[in-house]
Every structure is written in structure tokens, then in C-alpha cells.
């Protein structure tokens, strides 16, 4: 069930002091299309620091939802200009988190393969981190 795809995710975090972190993940995933949405499901790895977590991307025309279930649980909703508040749950505790999406571009073929998504957003995790992030997702 589902189509095998390759997912490449590049995340850049930059705090307001100018410190920058870059994380890249390349993994195999399953792609499904249901009710006008594209779903991409993959297992996190040790490299991402979330081994034991399953990630699910739900992609619509103007919104991306990233849900993580397992060792680390979270749900991030990216919709242009909207503020999203949630709890970021880790083995070390839960932290209030807020994101504001500044840019979202979803480029895809009709069959949902060869998709590229760019998201830029502000992130605040309850005094632990505040900065600007960007995510680039390529699905082939």
C-alpha cells in the first residue's frame, strides 16, 4: 500500500543571536493520496535525534501539517500568516511552543511525485529557543 518515495528534508534554525544550525535527513517513505491531501510517512533516525518516532506529513494546497508520534510527540501546522500553539513533548518534558508561518510554497506534479515544499517560520519554545527557521522538503 502506498508508493515508495525518497524524502530529503533540510532544516535551518537561526536564533536571534545569529547562531545557525543545519540538519539534513534523507530517508525512504510511503506516499498516499486521500481526500485531496498527500500523506508522506517515514521513520525518524538516530541522526535526527528522534529514533523511535514516526513522522507524518499531511500536505494540502496551502497547508502542511507535520505530526510526530513515538518517542517524541508533536504536531506542527504551517499555514501562511497563521499562529499555531502546541506542546512540544519530549522524554525530558513538555514545553509550550508557538510557530508563525511567514512563507509556504508547495510545488507538485499532478500525481504528487517530484514535490518540493519550502516553509519559513518564526519559532518560540517557551524560553528555550526563539528564532527563524526554514524547512525544504523534496519528495521523489
- Span 31-62, pLDDT tens digits: 999 998 999 999 987 666 667 789 999 999 89
Domain boundaries, the chain: 3-139
Q: How far apart, in whole angstroms, are the C-alpha atoms of residue 6 and residue 91?
A: 28
90: pLDDT confidence band, cut at 50, 70 and 90?
low
Residue 49's contacts (CB-CB under 8 Å, 6 or more residues apart) are: none
CATH code 1.10.645.10 for 3-139? no
pLDDT (tens digit per residue) in 91-126: 677 889 999 999 999 997 765 678 999 999 999 988
CA angle 102, 11, 87 (to 5 degrees): 70
pLDDT at 64 over 90: yes
Amino acid at each position: 500500500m502506498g508508493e515508495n518515495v525518497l524524502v530529503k528534508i533540510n532544516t535551518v534554525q537561526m536564533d536571534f543571536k545569529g547562531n545557525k544550525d543545519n540538519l539534513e535527513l534523507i530517508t525512504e517513505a510511503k506516499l498516499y493520496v486521500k481526500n485531496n491531501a498527500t500523506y508522506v510517512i517515514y521513520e525518524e533516525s538516530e541522526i535526527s535525534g528522534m529514533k523511535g518516532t514516526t513522522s507524518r506529513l499531511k500536505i494540502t494546497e496551502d497547508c502542511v501539517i507535520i505530526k510526530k508520534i513515538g518517542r517524541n510527540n508533536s504536531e506542527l501546522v504551517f499555514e501562511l500568516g497563521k499562529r499555531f500553539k502546541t506542546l512540544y513533548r519530549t522524554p525530558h518534558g513538555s514545553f509550550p511552543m508557538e510557530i508563525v508561518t511567514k512563507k509556504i510554497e508547495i510545488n507538485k506534479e499532478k500525481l504528487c511525485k517530484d514535490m518540493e515544499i519550502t516553509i519559513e517560520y518564526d519559532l518560540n519554545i517557551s524560553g528555550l529557543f526563539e528564532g527563524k527557521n526554514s524547512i525544504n522538503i523534496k519528495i521523489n
